[in-house]
Amino acid sequence: MMFQLVCDPSGVVVETTIRELVPALLKWGNKLDHVLRVLLSHMLSSIECCPPLSGVEDSVESHFHVLGERERWTVDVLLRLLLELLPVVHQISIETCPYPPLLDSVGSSFPKPLLEKYAEGHVDWPTFEWLHDDCFPSLIQIVSLLPQKEDSLRNRISSFLLAVSKRFGDDYLTHIMLPVFLVAVGDDADLACFPSTSQPKVKALRPKNAGDERIARLCVLPLLLAGVLGSPSKHEVLTEYLRNLLVQNAELEGHLAMQNVDVYNSVRFLWLVFFSQLLSSLLVGLLTLSGCMLCSLFEEHHNLVFNVIWEMVVSSNMDLKVNAAKLLKMIVPYIDAKVASAHVLPALVTLGSEPNLPVLYASIDAFGTVAQNFKADVIVDKIRVQMDAFLEDGSHEAILAVIRALVVAVPHTTESLRDYIL
């Protein structure tokens, strides 16, 4: 009955059940392991009962499921419940720690020496093990069934992962969480802090064929970037990982355009998570100090992404320049006017001055997206100047690219830009 109430269509019923009934039942019945097991199973079955995105057998799209409103609501509230249960999982993991002297000084996080001792495999630690043996693999399986449009559910999962790293500590994030998700996207990882019984379960997450690799790029990579490497303690690692994805891998001969698009979608999602975290915190009215800290964190996040994009902009590799314009176009809907003026427009102006035609056309296309999303006079004026420069190029291709860009922008832009067109 508890899960029926948790998944009730009424938000009030759901909120009351999660906040009041579930804690009371757990305290009374001591059945956390059962609740966690049923919760993950119910999420997975709710998705699997939905029709596939495509009827083409063995295609990547056939692996995804089209969620109805009811199923989406069910998965969403169960993810909320999972987040609410995390403090209980953390507390029981602390209380049942087989090596209490190795806990950190305040007894709330899990230092590397403790993880190394645990990896020797001499003791059972069921609640702690549930996260990496059951929860993370189940979330990876769940997210791998979701089509691209289900950003809100991916965002919920990312929020849960960020909450895990915040509670369990940086060593846990580095030596337990990160290896699980690195293996799941097909990268190598150090499993030294996993006992021998857990290592095969982690290795089983590795993609086994080209189809699995694409699903991992589309579905798991966004979680790795936003939910694992998106932690404040991993900024340097995130920067290097993005550089490897966007610059070094893209320069490899034979790197497919489709792979680039999949990676760009992950970066777009990373930006979406940054933006949604900032927005949701502002909506709940955080105090000034916390709000300032969050704004500072958001600025750090977008600076590290733009630093990598700028490497692509100034690269001598024309394909990287084209990719930079495409990536800028994808993240424009998730930035504000200040970021657009400070980072996006200078990058696009630089790209727009390139004599290379594919780079030029890609930058024009991105300018159209900027015009579609921003109405500030200073931004519109810069777009007008740049469009004049493109038109002065005189080539039919450049003129057609400008026309296509403006057609996209016209329904959403300012009167001054419409007057400019007329």
Residue 281 pLDDT exceeds 70: no
DSSP annotation of 182 reads H
For the chain, percent helix, then strand, then coil, each to nearest 5?
Answer: 75, 0, 25
With H, G, I as helix, E, B as strand and everything else as coil, classify residue 52: strand
Name the nearest CA neighbour of 91 among 159, 27, 24, 146: 27
Specify whether the CB–CB gap between 406 and 372 falls below 8 A: no
For 275, the token pair is: 């933006």
Q: Among 315, 230, 229, which Cα is nearest to 273's? A: 230
Give the residue-averaged pLDDT of 299-316.
87
Return the amino acid letter for 180.
V
- pLDDT confidence of residue 225: 95
Residue 94 lies inside a defined structural domain of this protein:
yes
Report, as an integer, the average pLDDT of 158-163. 95
Report yes or no on 364 lying in a domain. no
In a domain, 165, yes or no: yes
Both structure tokens of 321: 């320049």
% the chain with pLDDT above 70: 85
Q: How many structural domains does the chain have?
A: 1
Listed in sequence order, the residues at least 6 apart from 10 whose beta carbon sits closer than 8 Å to its beta carbon are none
Residue 90 lies in a domain: yes
Phi-psi region of 257 (alpha: psi -120 to 50; beta: other; left: phi over 0): alpha
Find the mean pLDDT for residues 267-296: 64
Which range of 8-12, 284-288, 356-360 scores highest in mean pLDDT? It is 356-360
With contact defined as beta carbons under 8 Å apart, do 158 and 223 qualify? yes
Range of the domain at 181: 1-232
- Concatenated DSSP letters of 238-266: HHHHHHIIIIIHHHSTT--HHHHHHHHHH
Cβ–Cβ < 8 Å for 39, 78: yes
- Indicate if the alpha-carbon torsion angle 127, 132, 133, 135 is positive or negative: positive
CA 349 to CA 134: how far, in whole Å? 48
- Angle 308-312-318 from CA coordinates, rounded to 5°: 170
Q: How far is CA 275 from CA 270, 279, 280, 327, 352, in A?
A: 9, 6, 9, 16, 27
CA distances from 382 to 244, 321, 370, 372 (A): 32, 21, 11, 14
User: Can you tell me the mean pLDDT for 2-15?
Assistant: 73
Does a structural domain hold residue 113?
A: yes
Give the Å distances, CA to CA, from 220 to 190, 246, 383.
Answer: 18, 17, 36
Number of neighbouring beta carbons within 10 Å of residue 70: 12
Query: Considering only CA atoms, which of 210, 176, 10 is closest in space to residue 93?
Result: 176
Name the nearest CA neighbour of 350 among 340, 337, 359: 359
pLDDT, one tens digit per residue, over 187-230 is 999 999 999 999 999 999 999 998 999 999 999 999 999 999 99
Q: What is the pLDDT of residues 313-368, one digit of tens each?
A: 999 889 899 999 999 999 898 888 888 898 999 999 999 988 898 998 899 899 88
Selected residue with higher pLDDT from 360 and 3: 360
pLDDT of residue 287: 43
More confident residue, 79 or 392: 79
Q: Kindly state the helix (H) or strand (E) to which residue 362 belongs, with its residue range.
A: helix 357-373
**How many CB atoms within 10 Å of residue 243?**
16
Residue 147: inside a domain: yes
